[in-house]
């Protein structure tokens, strides 16, 4: 009974296990699968239209499920992914996440749940994610954070982003459990309640980004509390989506000034002249090192001279990018910024519609080292004013960027920078330069020059020989003949080069970029002319995939040689021949016929000659030539058969029949056949007729064939002029060439059903079976088996007559 009970228990457990396994299997079977994983085990399942978490390999390290239609993550969707390092569910429609959905992701370091429909944050989601370092919860419709210790236990968390349009309240325990962060992002544009100290738990704090549009407009005390909790001298602060109009709007910045914040960035800022002046007064004397304004809309006329008394000598970096001036016709440009620009070492005014910046006076010599005026409205004339007419006032300038301006004269810019004795980097790309003079003055310190995106068609010795890096991409250049012995990097992409520049011009060149040209091919000798070249980017050209080029490039891709192709194998694609167009050079396999054409033709001709000789020998051995010759004779006999038949049927044609019989025999059998010379018919008649009847006129080949005429024509003529044809068959007859000719033609003429129908007379001089007859005389062999023939007497002296024999 005990054993029976144990058996029942075992069967019951087995049943439960199979039931659970079946449910699990059915559940997994209903899930879609995603097979878009690369060799690095990174699975990109984004934008796949999935409504559930798809099944992927459990060895995946990263899984991107962004921009799908997933609404729920169950407890089994991510089971088995213990090795997963990064998971993105950004841009889905997540409403429900099971509390244990992420429990198996022990190794997860990055989790993105932004832009979903999560109305509340459950601390149980993150309870097992002890390795998590980056968490993004932005733009979900939760309204409060901090009511529960959501991030408690995430001791390794370093980057945290939360908030969105629905966030209304941040409570004191919001960041409980988070000890330090490298970056904190809070989107709280509609924040209405903030408990002081809620964000103050984190220290050290590497960088903080705050979106506080609503609080700065309606509740500046709340904004001040938030800024007070995250303001530290060495923590860069980024403030987004601010609308600063009037003196009251800058009051929260007293908190940052009080805590001596040194790095301030404004992004998406709307500000007036009055507010700018007030803000400069607020931060007067504060050691602000970096002041960056990105995407700013200015309302006013740019009159900020009322703040020129303020002290901002600590500013080291001043950046203004993407400026929109509402009343551009009343704006006085950036001339009023002179009091600010006298201190920073790095000044950038980018895409700000600036057409001129003031040259500093002699009493306010600028200590600029980095000057970026790209994407503005500068011309050659206004650049002359900005660079102080090239008098060397900007004596410490090392980097100058005036790209994306309407500059036309290369000689003008070279003159303006000649006296900048410390200038090392010059960017004059995306300008209207179309001509390069033969000579240009440059500072001896210039090492990096960028003239890409211009309209240059030739390169002249105007280029400074001290250059180490030169960028001439996206011009109209076809060749390069200027020697630059110090050059280490050369960028020539987007031009019209047909071949690589001569390597002997660049003794120290280490990196060459020549993509998207009209380059057809290059070989090992081209690269060997560059003594120190190690990196080459020559993809996206119109390559002619010849055998030599394909073999060379494939060996280079494999790493054979000193030069490495750093732009990837997929960049090298065949443009011709047509049947290889679009194929990657590294994947092309050319046949021996294409690559060794001369050798192939030579070998083919040799083989063809050998085969031809062999075939001729074989045909000769198989008597094929005889078949061809006899076919021609047969055709000729066919052509004349009707005429011969008419002659036979016409009684008056007897006069045309010269002979009674045409005798075909072997010369070796003459002593059996004729008692005398073969030159007289009578002798033949007497010899061949033991009882002479009426004298017969015989046609003998030795006597009656016309000399010099083709043997077949003689046979045809003899047969046409004879009433009968007599064959004296013997071993000698079969082996005789002359007899073979006569018999060959007779095989077509006499034994053909349409050739006249006159039977031949067969006489066996000696016993001879049909097997002794050559197989090619198939009709003769058949005739011997079915037709009466004569046998020559065995003993001629006895005078015994021949007997008739019927062969069955």
Mind listing the pLDDT tens digit for each residue in 449-495? 999 999 999 999 999 999 999 999 999 999 999 999 999 999 999 99
68 in helix, strand or coil?
coil
As a whole number of angstroms, the longest Cα–Cα distance in the chain is: 162
Residue 504 predicted with pLDDT over 50: yes
Cβ atoms of 194 and 170 closer than 8 Å: yes
Per-residue model confidence (pLDDT) at position 645: 58
Least confident of 144-148, 448-452, 565-569, 723-727: 723-727
Per-residue model confidence (pLDDT) at position 539: 93
| CA 688, 690, 691, 692 torsion-angle sign | positive
Alpha-carbon gap, residue 521 to 134, rounded angstroms: 47
Where is mean pLDDT largest: 20-24, 330-334, 486-490?
486-490
Tens digit of each residue's pLDDT (9 = 90 or more) over 427-447: 999 999 999 999 999 999 999
Residue 745 predicted with pLDDT over 70: no
Per-residue model confidence (pLDDT) at position 239: 97
Q: Residues 730-758: what's their mean pLDDT? A: 59
Portion of the chain with pLDDT greater than 70, in percent: 81
Tens digit of each residue's pLDDT (9 = 90 or more) over 24-64: 333 445 789 999 998 889 999 999 999 999 999 999 999 99
Task: Read off the pLDDT band of 799 (50, 70, 90).
Answer: very low
Q: Residues 183-188: what's their mean pLDDT? A: 97
Residue 690 predicted with pLDDT over 50: no
Portion of the chain with pLDDT greater than 90, in percent: 54
Task: Read off the pLDDT band of 804 (50, 70, 90).
Answer: very low
Task: Read off the pLDDT band of 584 (50, 70, 90).
Answer: very high
Per-residue model confidence (pLDDT) at position 358: 76
Rounded to 10 degrees, the C-alpha dihedral 375/376/377/381 comes to -100
Tokens, residue 760: 């031949």
Average pLDDT score, the chain: 83
Residue 117 predicted with pLDDT over 50: yes
Cβ atoms of 56 and 45 closer than 8 Å: yes
The predicted model scores a pTM of 0.72
Residue 368 predicted with pLDDT over 70: yes
Residue 88 predicted with pLDDT over 80: yes
534 CB-near residues (< 8 Å, 6+ apart) = 510, 511, 562, 563, 564
**What's phi and psi for 421, nearest 5 deg?**
-70, -10
Task: Read off the pLDDT band of 323 (50, 70, 90).
Answer: very high
> Domains (ranges, CATH) in the chain?
696-794 (3.40.50.10140)
Task: Read off the pLDDT band of 2 (50, 70, 90).
Answer: very low
């Amino acid at each position: 009974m005990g054993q029976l009970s144990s058996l029942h228990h075992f069967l019951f457990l087995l049943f439960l296990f199979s039931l659970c396994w079946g449910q699990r299997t059915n559940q997994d079977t209903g899930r879609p699968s995603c097979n878009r994983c690369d060799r690095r085990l990174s699975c990109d399942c984004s934008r796949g239209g999935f409504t559930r978490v798809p099944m992927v390999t459990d060895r995946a390290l990263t899984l991107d499920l962004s921009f799908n239609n997933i609404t729920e993550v169950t407890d089994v969707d991510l089971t088995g992914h213990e090795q997963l390092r990064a998971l993105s569910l950004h841009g889905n429609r997540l409403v429900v996440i099971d509390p244990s959905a992420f429990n198996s992701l022990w190794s997860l370091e990055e989790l993105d749940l932004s832009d979903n429909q999560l109305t509340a944050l459950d601390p149980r989601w993150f309870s097992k994610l002890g390795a998590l370092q980056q968490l993004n919860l932005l733009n979900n419709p939760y309204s409060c954070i901090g009511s529960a210790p959501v991030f408690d236990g995430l001791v390794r968390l370093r980057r945290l982003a939360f908030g969105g349009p629905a966030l209304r309240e941040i409570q004191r325990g919001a960041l409980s459990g988070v000890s330090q962060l490298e970056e904190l992002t809070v989107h709280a544009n509609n924040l209405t309640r903030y408990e002081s100290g809620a964000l103050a738990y984190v220290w050290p704090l590497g960088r903080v980004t705050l979106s506080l549009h609503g609080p700065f407009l309606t509740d500046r005390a709340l904004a001040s509390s938030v800024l007070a909790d995250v303001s530290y001298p060495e923590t860069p602060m980024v403030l987004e989506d601010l609308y600063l109009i009037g003196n009251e709007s800058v009051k929260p910045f007293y908190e940052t000034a009080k805590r001596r914040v040194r790095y301030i960035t404004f992004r998406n800022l709307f500000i007036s002249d009055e507010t700018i002046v007030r803000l400069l007064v607020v931060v007067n004397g504060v050691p602000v090192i970096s002041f960056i304004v990105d995407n700013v809309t200015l309302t006013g006329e740019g009159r900020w001279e009322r703040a020129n008394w303020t002290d901002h000598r600590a500013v080291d970096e001043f950046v203004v990018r993407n400026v929109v001036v509402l009343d551009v016709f009343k704006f006085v440009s950036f001339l009023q910024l002179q009091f600010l620009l006298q201190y920073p070492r790095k000044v950038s005014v980018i895409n700000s519609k600036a057409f001129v910046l003031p040259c500093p006076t002699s009493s306010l010599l600028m200590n600029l080292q980095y000057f970026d005026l790209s994407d503005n409205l500068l011309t050659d004339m206004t650049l002359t004013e900005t660079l102080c007419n090239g008098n060397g006032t900007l004596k410490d300038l090392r980097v100058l960027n005036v790209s994306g301006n309407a500059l036309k004269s290369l000689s003008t810019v070279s003159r303006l920078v000649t006296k900048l004795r410390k200038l090392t980097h010059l960017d004059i790309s995306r300008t209207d330069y179309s001509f390069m003079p033969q000579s240009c003055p440059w500072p001896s310190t210039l090492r990096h020059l960028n003239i890409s995106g211009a309209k240059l068609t030739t390169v002249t010795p105007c280029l400074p020989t001290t250059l180490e890096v030169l960028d001439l991409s996206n011009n109209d250049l076809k060749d390069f003949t200027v020697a630059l012995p110090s050059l280490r990097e050369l960028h020539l992409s987007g031009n019209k080069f047909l071949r690589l520049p001569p390597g002997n011009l660049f003794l120290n060149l280490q990196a060459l970029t020549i993509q998207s040209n009209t380059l057809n091919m290059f070989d090992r000798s081209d690269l060997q002319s560059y003594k120190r070249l190690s990196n080459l980017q020559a993809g996206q050209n119109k390559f002619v995939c010849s055998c030599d080029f394909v073999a060379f490039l494939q060996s280079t891709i494999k790493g054979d040689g000193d030069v490495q192709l750093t732009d990837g194998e997929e960049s090298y694609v065949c443009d011709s021949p047509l049947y290889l167009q679009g194929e990657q050079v590294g994947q092309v396999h050319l046949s021996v016929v294409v690559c060794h054409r001369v050798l192939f033709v030579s070998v083919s001709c040799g083989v063809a000659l050998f085969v031809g000789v062999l075939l001729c020998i074989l045909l000769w051995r198989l008597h094929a030539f005889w078949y061809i010759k006899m076919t021609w004779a047969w055709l000729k006999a066919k052509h004349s058969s009707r005429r011969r038949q008419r002659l036979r049927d016409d009684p008056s044609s007897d006069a045309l029949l010269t002979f009674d019989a045409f005798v075909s025999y072997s010369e070796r059998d003459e002593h059996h056949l004729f008692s005398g010379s073969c030159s007289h018919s009578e002798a033949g008649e007497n010899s061949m007729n033991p009882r002479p009847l009426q004298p017969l006129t015989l046609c003998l080949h030795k006597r009656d064939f016309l000399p010099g005429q083709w043997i077949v024509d003689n046979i045809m003529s003899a047969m046409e002029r004879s009433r009968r044809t007599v064959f004296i068959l013997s071993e000698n007859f079969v082996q005789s060439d002359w007899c073979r000719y006569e018999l060959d033609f007779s095989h077509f003429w006499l034994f053909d059903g349409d050739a006249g129908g006159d039977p031949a007379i067969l006489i066996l001089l000696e016993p001879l079976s049909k097997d002794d007859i050559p197989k090619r005389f198939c009709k003769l062999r058949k005739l011997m088996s079915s037709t009466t023939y004569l046998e020559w007497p065995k003993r001629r002296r006895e005078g015994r007559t021949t007997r008739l024999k019927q062969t069955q």
